[in-house]
Chains A and B, each alone.
Chain A
């Protein structure tokens, strides 16, 4: 499992600068917003956390369809599915998700404070946005794994994955942004939405890989 993790991280970092493209996409999304709503710093500070979250969400959806595609091409996916019972497959999927998260999504989280500065987000908001993204983005990857597993056989599955996944990640977005708002605006609480976000991540860490494993097992035969 550790070997799988290391291998996937290495492939993810190397493959066509996947992480870099994601970060650039994130940067581009955030940079486009001021052109759309105007350079009013107060307004930007207000919507900043939401923009950061939406940008990170879209950027992490970007590479999802590659989660299983490379493995399918070189046949190691079949090996993974055949190796033992279903829960083992789910475990491999979980490890693959974590590797994907480390390689492609963690860089997004790392540049979040920097992009937050562009959006004139307060320091507390910066910390909160980074923390919520750190906690919340794995859930996006776990849900996304279901979409990626379902669409693995499709030639142009990337768009379909996003369409399928976006409605399902709305709760994550809601609680993530709510937590950041709670950190910045005074009357709103920070901890409850943050803890719910954490719970969502743990919940999807179970549901996502299980469903993805079922989908993978059945897309093979």
Chain B
């Protein structure tokens, strides 16, 4: 708990949007550069690694598919933490973080679905199976879309942020239940022919590039997230300044 308290202390230092913007301006170029470099290295290592004896060349898809799936979940966790930040600590940047993260998370989740589907076509002979894991990710994608729709539906950003925070938290509580129920449903409906991802453990020659590229995509996510947050802060400033300008014009006309 003291750990969390220390974290909050540091976070309240960032509560001032101006200080946050300065930090973002300083960090983003480095973070973005590191992200590009790490992704490039990871993918290069991936293509230099030997092909899997079972899956052949399609195993290369793994180096992007797994990071995307991981980021889809990480992003939702970030959103849930932001939601807590909004509801419990009333951190002013938390709802900005939540709103900015939603489209990025949706994009990565979509990519996880698409690359998984492209991977599945040569491996299983079909674009889509109602496999437990695929289905859970699909439900996650639907939840992202709902939250995006909610954050865009309201004019008042603060109110939208709170509403989205409630929904994101309820969704987060639900994720284990959904996972459990989908597993249940899957065993009920799919006899013997269930396709297993987790066959033999991954060989280190494949694992290292995978970890590197996952780290790279994670850096990329945080870069994009910070950029989107900065844009969102600017958007709110523009709105507030417009309102101010309108009020000033009104007062001057009278």
Contact = CB atoms under 8 A, between A and B. Distances in A.
A211 B150 CA distance: 16
Contacts of A193: 184
Contacts of B150: 150-151, 160, 164
A37 to B, nearest CB: 18
Nearest to B162: A218
Contact of A167 (B143, B159, B169, B180): B143
A214 interface: yes
A154 B164 CA distance: 13
A160 B146 CA distance: 7
Interface in A197-217: 200, 203, 207-208, 211, 214-215
Interface residues of A, number: 33
B139 A167 contact: yes
A174 B166 contact: no
A210 to B, nearest CB: 9
A170 interface: yes
A92 B87 CA distance: 21
A83 interface: no
B241 interface: no
A42 interface: no
Given A167-B178, A207-B170, A219 B162 contact: yes
A209 to B, nearest CB: 11
Given A154-B153, A160-B149, A167-B171, A178 B184 contact: yes
Contacts of B11: none
B185 A174 contact: yes
Given A160-B153, A178-B185, A171 B159 contact: no
A200 B149 CA distance: 26
A51 B3 CA distance: 50
Interface string A135-175: 00000000100110111011001001001101110110011
A200 B166 CA distance: 19
A196 B183 CA distance: 14
Contact of A171 (B143, B154, B169, B178): B178
B55 interface: no
Interface string B175-196: 0011011101100100000000
Contact residues of B: prevailing secondary structure: helix
A108 to B, nearest CB: 22
Indicate the member of B146, B149, B166, B167 with the most A CB atoms within 10 Å.
B166
Main secondary structure of the interface of A (DSSP, over half): helix
A171 B167 contact: no
A200 B177 contact: yes
B111 interface: no
A146 B185 contact: no
Given A168-B171, A168-B174, A170-B181, A214 B87 contact: yes
B173 to A, nearest CB: 6
B37 to A, nearest CB: 37
A219 B174 contact: no
A167 B173 contact: no
A170 B163 CA distance: 21
B87 A219 contact: no
B167 A164 contact: yes
Contacts of A200: 177
19 contacts: A146-B166, A146-B167, A146-B170, A150-B167, A154-B154, A157-B153, A160-B146, A164-B147, A167-B178, A168-B170, A171-B178, A175-B181, A175-B184, A203-B177, A207-B170, A211-B170, A214-B166, A218-B159, A218-B163
Interface of B: 87, 139, 142-143, 145-147, 149-150, 153-154, 159, 162-163, 166-167, 169-171, 173-174, 177-178, 180-182, 184-185, 188
